[in-house]
Amino acid sequence: MEAKRDLQPRPHSPAYTALLRAGPRLKQLQQAHAHLVVIGSHQTRSLLTKLITLALSTGSMSYARKLFLTVPDPDSFLLNSLITFSSKSNFPNDALLFYRRMVLSNLPPSNYSFTSVIKSCADLSALSLGMSVHAHVLAHGYGSDCF
């Protein structure tokens, strides 16, 4: 167990430092990602989540999507981030795909993800899908939440 814990990067590890130094610049972020692959930390959930959120902050949805496909079991934080960014960045189809993944994985959506998903339905003029999402909003108890 002790050996496994040592494999997990710590907040001040070189892997975290490389990501934070790269910041929201795509080329530097890709270099930091390559470094993570070389040192074997590219499958660590916390680093993947940080890498994806930084990729989103660069505006590169395609790179973030590629990174997301490497995450075996994404959590609700990551999916909510992807849904929100996709909706705000005019990628409504991606927002709906991430929402579908969330629902199929039985992960709890937040009121923010519902707002983004409904916006995406409106952007696509998908009335029946929007009505289904609205039913999901009510089923999760967000019906009286004004967001």
Domain limits, the chain: 1-72, 74-147
Task: Please report the sign of the dihedral spanned by the C-alpha atoms of residue 36, residue 41, residue 44, residue 47.
Answer: negative
- Give me the pLDDT at residue 45, please: 79
DSSP 24: T
């270099």: which residue's tokens? Answer: 31
CB-based burial of residue 113 (10 Å sphere; 0-12 exposed, 13-18 middle, 19+ buried)? buried
Percent of the chain topping pLDDT 90: 39
pLDDT at 22: 65
Higher pLDDT, 88 or 14: 88
Angle, helices 45-58/14-22, rounded to nearest 10 degrees = 10
Q: What gap in Å lies between CA 52 and CA 66, rounded to an integer?
A: 9
Report the pLDDT value the prediction gives residue 5, as an integer from 0 to 100.
40
Give the per-residue pLDDT at 73: 86
* pLDDT tens digits along 101-140: 999 999 988 888 899 999 999 999 999 999 999 998 898 8
